[in-house]
Amino acid sequence: MKKRWVLLPVCLFMSGCVMNAPSMNKKMAASDALAVSITAIAMDQAKDFDSTRVKVIEIATELRKFVDTGNFSDLPSKDAERVLIGHLASKGWSSYSYIVDSALAYVKTKNVNVDKIGVNNVELIKIALDGVIRQATRGKSEWAVSLLK
């Protein structure tokens, strides 16, 4: 029972409640952890785990390349999600919008400059997408337990 309480200070520390502002290292860890968790939950709900795995890796890799190109960091923060979702839709991948949600999960919890999303937040998005890819790669269908069961 005591071990559960150890997580509370860690979560508070990571979120910046104990400190004025978390370091970029802590932000990267939080962004990665959220993306990995969301991906694991979503994949466990998939009707066909193995084909979903392949598709998630393909989509997250494509989004990672998309974020690396152009001037994504110069986009107004309100447009970042719209642009990523639009990119998914243009490829016929709208049903995989949770990948964008997981990539932006941590960034959305922070106060983001509204004029542009910025280089650091783009780095957090890329780290989250790497986490999505890593989780999809290492997950196994025989380990999946649906939350709906």
Per-residue model confidence as pLDDT tens digits over 33-71: 999 999 998 898 888 999 999 999 999 999 999 998 878
- Best CA proximity match to 98, nearest among 33, 21, 8, 34: 34
Q: Is-above-0.75 flag for pTM?
A: yes
Q: Is residue 149 part of a domain?
A: no
pLDDT in tens, 100-133: 988 888 887 776 666 788 888 899 999 999 999 9
Whether 24 is covered by a domain: the verdict is yes
> Residue 39 falls within a domain, yes or no?
yes
How many structural domains are present in the chain?
A: 1
Q: For residue 126, which of 116, 138, 118, 114 has the smallest C-alpha distance?
A: 118
Q: Domain containing 71: what range?
A: 2-143
CB 126 within 8 A of CB 31: no
**φ, ψ for residue 108, nearest 5 deg:** -65, -20
Rg (Cα) of the chain, in Å, rounded? 16
Residue 6 counted as domain residue = yes
Whether 148 is in a domain gets the answer no
